[in-house]
Structure 1
Amino acid sequence: MIWSAALLALAGSVQAADKSMATPVGGWNRAGLTDRSQELAVNYPYALVDRGAQRGRRMIQGELAKAGKERGVHKLVVNGNPTPLYTDDTGRYARAYSFGSGSNSVEIRSPDGKAVKRVQFYEADKSRPQPVIRVIAAWDDSQAEVDLHVVTPDGQHAFWSHPALSNGGGLDADTVDGPGPENFVMTSPMRGLYQVWINYWGNFGASGYHFDETTRQRPVITSRVTLVFNENTARERREEFVVPLRAIGELTLVKTFKF
């Protein structure tokens, strides 16, 4: 079976240079395809506190053995969607993501693009339908507080203080401590015109939120916004946009599309 011994060996492996991802025994979901009733524990990734539209998030966490600016920035790639992977001073990281049903993959790539660790797992929970529209925002400054905004055809507006919409759409994570990702998902989208915006709201440091431009790590912050349609199906289609964010308060229309 595709989810058998070879896959589980990969899920449990550790690279010599990097400790990579902390995955449970047997991967993230055994999917019922193999009898592992004698295992001590087979669990999903740590589930965050239920916060309404954010209840579907799972925490991807682990440790890079050699962290530091001199090595550059690793990337976390979830189902083909890359995000800069910043760590704390000890090399640890934690990122939230909402997975749909079916096959999912999580990969860490080194600053030079080489694969460090890859885990593939099967989400068998049919209560997690596949996203028909997913919008992902990520950026390359770990101190910047950047927000994704989506306006749906009926005029509803999803953003950090209003994540859940009555039409079934929702923003699943307001990332305030790093480069994203922030995700907007609809599993049964309505027909009509959608708007996708990105806002450079401010910065976050040791003293909390602030609007001091001099603390920026880059003169121009680059945000990558990805639109994924019919995710994890044969009809999957995606569009990517790279948006420069030059000043705090800047609100940019990334894409208007009809569904």
Structure 2
Amino acid sequence: MTAFPSRPWWRLCVALWAVAAAGAAAAMPPATLEAPSGGWNRGTLTDHSGDGAVAYPNPPIDRGVQAGRTLIRGRLAAEHRARDANRRPRTPPTLVVNGNPMPLYSDADGHFARPYAFGPGSNSVEIRSADGQPLRRLQFFEADPGRPRAQLRAILAWDDDQAEVDLHVLTPDGQHAFWAHPVLANGGGMDVDSVDGAGPEMFSMTAPLRGPYQLYVNYWGNFGDAGYHFDESTRQKKIITCRITLVFHENTPQERRESFVVPLRKIGDLTHVKTVMF
């Protein structure tokens, strides 16, 4: 006669489930981070792989530092995603690229993909948990001497992945770089317009003109399952917090940076952030 387990069958099932769950949790690290590589292979929140107007694989800006943009990809474990299993929001982890922090949002499976333009020299990508603990770090050296270096860079990120926020830059010769006019005749340019996450949006110049640069941010609207809309009631936060980071002479001994935090309270807000002298 077959001997049955002494404890009830449901306890055995619970025990086996716990072992399986523990094994699954152990199999997936808190965060994975792929080496930055060219090509829009996975857009996650919005897949732009067939859209020639986005930065990858056909960048609309083909000169200066904008020609070297790459995609940072990876995956977050469930406990580190910006929404729990019931899609309730919680504090997202932070993606830190070359010292520039930005909230890291992902799709429902934890996948993320964020663009950045890496220059020559030492570069780093790090993921930190919501409480600041390091989850993953990647450091690499870009040795290509022909890769252009951004002498002036402005980076915008914000803390609501449903908000569409735009960076506007007025250069000393009166040109205006923004999503509808990303390429300037003076060599400056905007990165791809970020509509499927909380940035970054970047303005870069490899040979900046001398004079004042005017920086603005605009809370343009919201982006949801049905596309763009202007319904204030869908906002996740009463105040959206933007961070604008200015980087001068990135990856050189002369590198310096400044950061500014700007609150946006309603759709349509256009805020002057800073007059930058170069």
In the other structure, the counterpart of 1:139 is 158
Equivalenced residue count is 227
In the other structure, the counterpart of 1:199 is 218
CA distance in 2, matches of 1:157, 1:15: 49
Give ranges in structure 1 of 5+ residues lacking alignment.
1-13, 29-43
Asked if 1:52 is matched to 2:64, the reply is: no
In the other structure, the counterpart of 1:62 is 74
Asked if 1:86 is matched to 2:94, the reply is: no
Cα distance, 1:65 vs structure 2: 1.8
- The alignment's TM-score, normalised by the length of structure 2, stands at 0.78
CA distance in 1, matches of 2:93, 2:245: 19
CA distance in 2, matches of 1:225, 1:20: 26
Cα distance, 1:19 vs structure 2: 3.7
Cα distance, 1:72 vs structure 2: 2.8
Query: Secondary structure of 1:214's match?
Result: helix
C-alpha contact (below 8 Å) 1:147/1:200 kept by paired residues: yes
**In the alignment, which of 216, 220, 235 is matched to residue 254 of structure 2?**
235
If each structure's helix is expressed as a fraction of its own residues, which one has the higher value?
2
Cα distance, 1:257 vs structure 2: 1.8
CA distance in 1, matches of 2:143, 2:155: 23
State the one-letter code of the partner of 1:194. Answer: Y
Write the deviation string for residues 129-183 of structure 1: whole angstroms up to 9, x where unpaired.
2211000000000000000000000000000011111101011121011110111
Cα distance, 1:55 vs structure 2: 3.8
CA distance in 1, matches of 2:226, 2:29: 33
Q: Where do residues 3-14 of structure 1 align in structure 2 (5 Å cutoff)? A: none
CA distance in 1, matches of 2:277, 2:67: 28
Cα distance, 1:15 vs structure 2: 9.0
Deviates more, 1:90-99 or 1:70-79: 70-79
Runs of 4+ in 1 over 4 A off after TM superposition: none
Asked if 1:226 is matched to 2:245, the reply is: yes
Compute the RMSD of aligned alpha carbons.
1.7
Give ranges in structure 2 of 5+ residues lacking alignment.
1-25, 41-55, 85-89
CA distance in 2, matches of 1:19, 1:141: 21
Asked if 1:99 is matched to 2:111, the reply is: no
Asked if 1:187 is matched to 2:206, the reply is: yes
Query: Secondary structure of 1:52's match?
Result: coil
- Which is higher, the Rg of structure 1 or of structure 2? 2
Cα distance, 1:68 vs structure 2: 4.9
Write the deviation string for residues 168-199 of structure 1: whole angstroms up to 9, x where unpaired.
10111210111101110011001111100000
C-alpha contact (below 8 Å) 1:49/1:55 kept by paired residues: no
C-alpha contact (below 8 Å) 2:157/2:201 kept by paired residues: yes
Q: Where do residues 88-127 of structure 1 align in structure 2 (5 Å cutoff)? A: 88-127=107-146
